Structure 1
Amino acid sequence: MGTPLGDFVRAKRDSIQPEALGLPDRGRRRSPGLRRIDLAGRAGISVEYLTRIEQGRDRNPSVAIVNALADGLSLDPAERAHLRYLAKITGGECVAHQQPVPPPREVRPSVLETLRLLEPGLALVHNRLGDILARTGAYEAVMRGTGLLEPPHPNLTRYVFTDPRARALFTDWDTVADEQAFDLWLGPSIENSEWFTAELAPVAGPDFTRRMHQHMVPARGVLRLRHPSGPELRLRRQSLDITEDAQQLVVLLPADDETGAAVERLRRPQPLRAIS
């Protein structure tokens, strides 16, 4: 049985062409990407040990081994952080974790006050499962008609994978789907992520499961929306981690003058809504 750590190392190895790392072409390969012997050599470990990690038979590699694998794969800082996180949840700390549970939905008063100060800007608070826990009135006004905020407890991940309107709204739907699936690894807790994944997988289908386990760290560029009213909105995302609550405050800023004018037409003064 595989592990999140092994799945990531294997997926990343398969995605790297040897010539990108200055390695010689060894001819035909049974699978795409970097050979195990090449990665093992770059990381300074044996092929047999690398195989055990990828197949989930070694669940507790040392910090030095994790760093060596990151060096061998030439991971960028975001990918290195993800590798360290997967090593942590794959190891013994996760063997006896609690039963899957839904996450808390409370947003602390100081964060709600910050949202009020951001009006009339587009801003929201969410967790990594996609639960939209609070938003500015301007965000609600701009998202009106998309279907995202219709449920009593809106969830962006569920919307992306189960609501047909999401494919019409997000110009780069595939990229957004990859982002939402990846973020489930960063949920408020392992138990929360397991709860949500078990709930969503049967209705979202194999495309959701495939994206979640490909472990490709998303770049998170400009967010493009095909708004139901007509204009395409191009929005830059600025995020602030609320670490103690495992939440994020996200501000959406117009990326060009056309988007700024369209947002100005769409938003209307609305009271802040917190969902608890």
Structure 2
Amino acid sequence: MDIAIGRELGDFLRSRRARIQPEEVGLPGHGRRRVPGLRREEVAQLAGVSVDYYIRLEQGRGPSVSDAVLDAIGRVLRLDDTEQEYLRRVARPAARRASAARRASAGGPAVQKVRRGLRLLLDTIDKAPAFVLGPRMDVLAWNGLGDAVVGFSQMAPEDRNMPRQVFLEPRARELYLDWSAVAAETVAHLRLYAGNHPQDEQLATLVGELSLGSEDFRRLWADHQVKEKTHGAKRLMHSVVGELDMPYETLTVPGEPGQMLVVYTPEPGSRTEERLKLLASWAATAAV
């Protein structure tokens, strides 16, 4: 197993077992423990595998592992569906490399083009901020209201990346009122992408840049949280119209692997909806 991939698997398993207290799984919790959570021996016992087998798996030295074993470990560590799928991928580096090779032969994740039909669709969404994210959460396209809220057109092309904006742009802590939650969600999605694209050199460069520039990113990346970006809500503070309460929906783009359409969906009749109308009018006037 590749050393880096084995380390990723081991780090993930250690971080997950650290969350589980012995009492939660019916084990005695008394006595001194060098590390928080379950010991490797306890995970092995509860999953029904040998201690040596589990240790080799956590060290990245294990053989090809079956679904049954991964499912048993996932139950012990109380993984959710997204975490379980992530475990399957990082535990099988050969399959991940084959998948990465297929993507590379078809253009790979580095190819980031938004087809004309999707750009036209963005333009028809005139009552809600919307934008398209690509691999590594690069911002590929946006509509007018999305630009008025976030300011994509004012950014240098290389800075149009959500993780860079969240962790390296000081204004982000003013824009996102729940910055800590946004930061954790951003890293969790990026970590999930990393599990699916182990050979993505641009991702490695991005993670290195963020690690050097942000202590918060280093801490969150080391926590190994994984989360799929599907829907949620953010609170933003806009310099012109004030606070915006913004639920959002994230839709995968058919035929474009790695691309997502993100649409903010303010409640009808809400204060945020009225403020977005005001912002749209202000942006149209400013553009004249």
* TM-score normalised by structure 2 residue count: 0.79
The count of residues paired between Structure 1 and Structure 2 equals 265
Residue correspondence of structure 1 range 147-226 to structure 2 within 5 A: 149-153=154-158, 154-185=160-191, 186=193, 189-192=197-200, 194-202=201-209, 203-218=212-227, 221-226=232-237
The equivalent of 1:134 in structure 2 is 141
**Once the two structures are aligned, what percentage of the paired residues are identical?**
35
For 2:138 and 2:128, the matched residues in 1 are separated by 20
- Counterpart Cα distance in 2 of 1:163 and 1:105: 23
Which letter maps to 2:225?
M
3-state DSSP of counterpart to 2:91: helix
Task: Pick 1 or 2: higher relative contact order, CA cutoff 8 A, min separation 6.
Answer: 1
Other structure's SS at 2:262 match: strand
Distance in 2 between residues matched to 1:40 and 1:148, nearest whole Å:
52
Q: CA deviation at 1:15?
A: 1.4
CA contact (8 A) 1:97 1:191 kept: yes
Which runs of structure 2 are paired with 1:52-131 in the superposition (5 Å)?
A: 52-58=56-62, 60-88=64-92, 90-91=93-94, 93-94=96-97, 103-131=110-138
Q: Could you list the per-position Cα deviations for residues 83-136 of structure 1 after superposition, in whole angstroms to 9, with x for gaps in the alignment? A: 223224x3464399779x872220122322322232232111102412111111
Superposed CA offset, 1:32-78 (max 9, x none): 11222222122111222222222222263222222221112121222
Matched with 1:229 is: 240
Corresponding residue SS for 2:136:
coil
Q: What is the alpha-carbon distance in structure 2 between the residues aligned to residue 182 and residue 171 of structure 1? A: 19
**What is the alpha-carbon distance in structure 1 between the residues aligned to residue 88 and residue 165 of structure 2?**
29
CA spacing shift, 1:230–1:112, aligned 2, 3 Å: closer
Task: Give the alignment's Cα RMSD to 1 decimal.
Answer: 2.9
Whole-angstrom CA distance in 1 between matches of 2:42 and 2:131: 45
Query: Hey, which of these two has a bigger chunk of helix by percent?
Result: 2
Which one is further off, 68-77 or 250-259?
250-259
> What SS does the corresponding residue of 1:9 show, helix, strand or coil?
helix
- Hey, what's the Cα distance between the residues in 1 that align with 2:267 and 2:70? 38
- Conserved 8 A contact 2:248-2:264: yes
Task: Check conservation: 2:128, 2:266, Cα contact below 8 A.
Answer: no
CA distance in 2, matches of 1:17, 1:158: 35
Query: Distance between the aligned counterparts of 1:52 and 1:175, measured in 2?
Result: 35
Which secondary structure state, in structure 2, belongs to the residue aligned with residue 209 of structure 1?
A: helix
Partner of 1:273: none
